[in-house]
Amino acid sequence: MRHFAIVGSGPAGFYTAEALAKAYGDKARIDIIDRYPVPYGLIRFGVAPDHQSLKAVSRRYDQVAEGEQVRFVGNVVVGRDVSAEELLGLYDAVILAIGAPHDRKLGIPGEDLTKIFDPFFTTKEVGKGTGLGLSTVYGIVKQSNGFIWVYTEPGRGTTFKIILSLIPDPPSLLGDEAPR
């Protein structure tokens, strides 16, 4: 019997669990460990949950999680609740399937978008803009219990994704990972 620990329950974690379950069958026990109480990465937060491709991914994750050899262990932070050394002592293999905890600066234009929603922030020349447009949009979206994401790529343009809730005062499910 092989015992595997996968740290991270997003796509990389579940695809790894699926591959291990196929490769080892009933000769494997797989624990998927995550710092959050529920699995599935961004899908857990309802990011476009009605999109057909995400429904298919969620169903695929469910199939993996329902396998007898897979167990989800939530609310566990490696380094706080259990050390890497302890995991290595308990499992035949420990797989880290997590994203970076923080963004890393790459030194490319447009990477620092943290101020774009601040009043009076502008990248235009003096007198060519007030810097109030995006802060106004941000205010409207937030007052409507919505979220706004920004994607930018030099030479290709910028895309804004806005999601507005139909439910007044919805509970916050996104915690620290909520977009601005």
Q: Which of the four pLDDT bands, split at 50, 70 and 90, describes residue 135?
A: confident
pLDDT in tens, 34-74: 988 888 776 666 555 555 555 666 676 777 777 788 999 99
Q: Which residues contact 25 (CB under 8 A, 6 or more apart)?
A: 69
If you search the block for the tokens 């196929």, which residue do you land on? 22
pTM of the model: 0.54
Report pLDDT digits (tens) over 89-125: 999 999 998 865 665 666 656 666 667 777 766 666 7
- Residue 177: pLDDT above 60? no
- Kindly report, residue by residue over 143-169, the tens digit of the pLDDT: 777 778 787 776 777 777 887 765 555
* Surface-to-core class of residue 5, CB atoms within 10 Å of its CB (0-12 exposed, 13-18 middle, 19+ buried): buried
- Residue 93: what pLDDT? 93
- Structure-model confidence comparison of residues 29 and 156, the more confident one: 29
Q: Residue 95: its pLDDT value, please?
A: 92
